[in-house]
Amino acid sequence: MYTLGVRDHLMIAHSFQGEVFGPAQRLHGATYVVDMEFRRAALDTDGLVVDIGLASQALGRLLGELNYRNLDEVPAYTGRNTTPEFLARDIFERMRAAIEAGELGPQAQGLTALCVTLNESHIAWASYEADLC
Amino acid sequence: MYTLGVRDHLMIAHSFQGEVFGPAQRLHGATYVVDMEFRRAALDTDGLVVDIGLASQALGRLLGELNYRNLDEVPAYTGRNTTPEFLARDIFERMRAAIEAGELGPQAQGLTALCVTLNESHIAWASYEADLC
Amino acid sequence: MYTLGVRDHLMIAHSFQGEVFGPAQRLHGATYVVDMEFRRAALDTDGLVVDIGLASQALGRLLGELNYRNLDEVPAYTGRNTTPEFLARDIFERMRAAIEAGELGPQAQGLTALCVTLNESHIAWASYEADLC
Amino acid sequence: MYTLGVRDHLMIAHSFQGEVFGPAQRLHGATYVVDMEFRRAALDTDGLVVDIGLASQALGRLLGELNYRNLDEVPAYTGRNTTPEFLARDIFERMRAAIEAGELGPQAQGLTALCVTLNESHIAWASYEADLC
Amino acid sequence: MYTLGVRDHLMIAHSFQGEVFGPAQRLHGATYVVDMEFRRAALDTDGLVVDIGLASQALGRLLGELNYRNLDEVPAYTGRNTTPEFLARDIFERMRAAIEAGELGPQAQGLTALCVTLNESHIAWASYEADLC
Amino acid sequence: MYTLGVRDHLMIAHSFQGEVFGPAQRLHGATYVVDMEFRRAALDTDGLVVDIGLASQALGRLLGELNYRNLDEVPAYTGRNTTPEFLARDIFERMRAAIEAGELGPQAQGLTALCVTLNESHIAWASYEADLC
């Protein structure tokens, strides 16, 4: 299995609902350094997992929809706790849609899996990995 | 698959038995920066892999049992080489027991796998990963 | 010159005033991984720059006053842009006060300088360094 | 599953063929920080995944065959784009051969998989992972 | 003293002249992860060391002039060994010129020093630091 | 001012004397990832701060004298607490002696300062910096 990874980041505000979150129930924020990994079983005809230029652009574009925002006010997240593990899945689905829409080029249809990791500090991170199909 | 990771560390002395270890047969020591990853297929009712507060506390508690010790004198390790790969498995089993004992809360019963990595320097690390069941 | 450094972090929400800030004028947030460095010309009688236990506790306590907060609502910051460089200075002054109050022990009176760095992502950081006197 | 990882690096020049590569079609270069991970289901009789000394030596030797070279002039790569994902696989095969030749010792025959990652910058990396058999 | 740091990178080919360089006399290459630090004694009227957007753009532009190139063929470097320490100084001078030309905005005239670090691997780096005046 | 930095590591056991050290009074150990920085005002005739090959060899040799040892039994340290800040100074003096003895080549006589940093975990480090003269 081949993997290509690229890194970008976003900076958001949010708050959590539920006693389990303790002081994180207050409005606070985070930098998420986002690692996006693309996987496939065999390289494409250029010797690539994916066009790294298109992949980085797509990641930047979809993070841009969330960047510098208060996630408590993003309609798509109403009633949800935007924990890093939840956001990892959400970003996975946004990248899956970008691939299906052809935003990463025609050869990206050969990608078989994605792994999205959100690093929230030097001591904590969350990820979501699944097959594409 | 969702993952949540937390990081802590321990500082221990030990020595190894066997010619393969060369100068590491002498009493020496290591800082192990420990990455503990928890996995599950679906998030719990709070939108979490695991309560990060309880997870960090449990990791700190179980590393505390080994921290600032000479592992050559820990009865549980008599006759064993406490290599980082051996310790990764040992810490895996200690965390599995903590989960089963309810130390990470009732929802942690839904965790399906753990991966423990011991980073011993900027150029070497060891890990153990397995399903919980 | 000797230095001892310790690392901790805080997660806050805030917004900035001024066109120069572009989209960061919106309410957003950040994780700041904080590196606190203590300096002195000669080691104390224990062979230390500072008691690392007391230093880490003091850093945790003073970051705790800001952690999981919306800095736009902290009275001390009214009318100020809480940029990372501003916060680095603010945390410097809080640590200076802690040292003067004896919170890091009597030998910490021999510290001669501090450097505070706030790492806000994998590609940006800010710091403030000055002598204590 | 147990893993042992070691890190080394190489510094090479190369160019790519194909419009998809944009400015990287020009002769340029890269530092690849190489993470080599060895996996096995059970530890060997010394409590190890693999002899870390032999593993590091083998990695250094095989990277030495490529280090400080213009890959466009390496006969084995004629007509190939030496992308990091391609090189990850190439280094995988070189390490597999070293294991089969006994260069990592007799117990290394029990290794079951390898993962090779080439980190090319703070924002991009590529890897190849497969079973040994 | 306040510092703001931003990170970017470039990927180049080059060779060195002189027996001291050993195998690095051959055409090879490097990724340089570049840390650019801006310093000033007091923050500007926006509470900033420098406009991070303009600073990042300027760094990207000037690294773009060197990126994906064989430095042996860059006329400005004829007869020079483009060691990382030499390049750190060269990039320092390019950023100094950008500041003087107003590319980082009028408030950047208050910057008092720069430090440029080129990280060439996980085990080696070079930097140049000097006052602006 | 130009700087060249190289990284290596050592793994030792030790214990500390004094109540301030708490549980670190017990025999334990550490990995110290050692960053050695060499400084000079102008590059040498090869365009270098120092010959990186000789510098790395010298660092490896002098760390080798301490590596895989119990520092409590090293005669030179009898009656001393081998804290990371103490060891940073000790390694500084060992490198100063190596430079004076010509181990880093004749051009290394032009070095003007050294900074030695011992990273002991992801959250703590110590350094010693001074002029050579």
Is residue B42 pLDDT above 90, yes or no? Answer: yes
Q: Which helix H or strand E contains C60, and what residues bound it?
A: helix C52-64
Residue of A nearest to C67 (CA): A28
Q: Could you say which residues from 19 to 78 on chain C have a Cβ atom under 8 Å away from some Cβ of chain F? A: 43, 46-49, 51-53, 56
Across D89-114, average pLDDT: 98
Assess contact for E59 and E118: CB atoms under 8 A. no
Of C94, C119, C109, the C-alpha closest to C11 is C119
pLDDT at F3: 98
Across A11-23, average pLDDT: 97
Question: What CA–CA distance (Å, rounded) separates F48 from F116?
Answer: 19
pLDDT tens track for D42-88 = 999 999 999 999 999 999 999 999 999 999 999 999 999 999 999 99
β-bridge partners, C121: C124
Q: D118: pLDDT confidence band, cut at 50, 70 and 90? A: very high
Q: Does C85 sit within 8 Å of E49, measured CB to CB?
A: yes
| F60: helix, strand or coil | helix
Q: B52: pLDDT confidence band, cut at 50, 70 and 90? A: very high
Q: What are phi and psi of A98, to 5 degrees?
A: -65, -40
Is residue B32 pLDDT above 90, yes or no? Answer: yes
From the number of C-beta atoms within 10 Å of its C-beta (0-12, 13-18, 19+), residue A45 rates as exposed
Q: Which chains touch B (3 or more CB pairs under 8 A)?
A: A, D, E, F
User: For a pLDDT cut of 70, what percent of chain D falls above it?
Assistant: 100
Residues in chain B: 133
DSSP codes of every residue in A41-79:
SS--TTS-SS-HHHHHHHHHHHHHTTTT-BGGG-GGGTT
pLDDT tens track for D24-35 = 999 999 999 999
Q: For residue E27, give how far its alpha carbon lies from the nearest alpha carbon of chain C (Å).
A: 30
Q: Which residue has the higher pLDDT, C133 or A97?
A: A97
D-chain residues within 8 Å CB-CB of E9?
121-123
Across A29-44, average pLDDT: 98
Assess contact for C73 and C102: CB atoms under 8 A. no
User: F and D: touch, per 3+ CB pairs < 8 A?
Assistant: no
Q: Which residues contact C20 (CB under 8 A, 6 or more apart)?
A: E46, E48, E51, E53, E105
Q: Does D24 sit within 8 Å of E29, measured CB to CB?
A: no
Residue of C nearest to E4 (CA): C126
F-chain residues within 8 Å CB-CB of E130?
1
pLDDT at F133: 81
Q: What are phi and psi of B69, to 5 degrees?
A: -125, 160
Radius of gyration of chain D (CA): 16
Is residue A70 pLDDT above 90, yes or no? Answer: yes
Radius of gyration of chain C (CA): 16
Q: pLDDT under 50 in chain E at which residues?
A: none
pLDDT at E133: 81
Question: What CA–CA distance (Å, rounded) separates D109 from D102?
Answer: 8
Q: D133: pLDDT confidence band, cut at 50, 70 and 90? A: confident
The overall average pLDDT reported for chain A is 97
Q: For residue A36, give how far its alpha carbon lies from the nearest alpha carbon of chain B (Å).
A: 14
Assess contact for E103 and E58: CB atoms under 8 A. yes
pLDDT at B133: 81
Question: What CA–CA distance (Å, rounded) separates A34 from D10?
Answer: 26
Q: A133: pLDDT confidence band, cut at 50, 70 and 90? A: confident
Is residue C68 pLDDT above 90, yes or no? Answer: yes
pTM (two decimals): 0.97
User: Directed axis angle between helix D52-64 and helix D84-100, to 10°?
Assistant: 130
Q: C133: pLDDT confidence band, cut at 50, 70 and 90? A: confident
pLDDT at D95: 98
B-chain residues within 8 Å CB-CB of E123?
122
Q: Which chains touch C (3 or more CB pairs under 8 A)?
A: A, D, E, F
Q: pLDDT under 70 in chain F at which residues?
A: none
Both tokens assigned to B38 = 């928890």
Of C26, C30, C33, the C-alpha closest to C13 is C30
Q: Does C47 sit within 8 Å of F83, measured CB to CB?
A: yes
pLDDT at B81: 97
Distance of CA E57 to the CA centre of its chain: 13
Both tokens assigned to B76 = 């549980």
Across B34-42, average pLDDT: 98
Question: What CA–CA distance (Å, rounded) separates C29 from A69?
Answer: 8
Q: Which helix H or strand E contains F59, and what residues bound it?
A: helix F52-64
Q: Which residues contact A51 (CB under 8 A, 6 or more apart)?
A: A104, A105, A107, A108, D20
Of F128, F114, F130, F122, the C-alpha closest to F30 is F122
Cβ-Cβ pairs closer than 8 A, D with E, add up to: 81
Most E CBs within 10 A among C91, C118, C127, hence the mutation to make, goes to: C127
Across B69-79, average pLDDT: 96
β-bridge partners, F130: F114
Q: A14: pLDDT confidence band, cut at 50, 70 and 90? A: very high
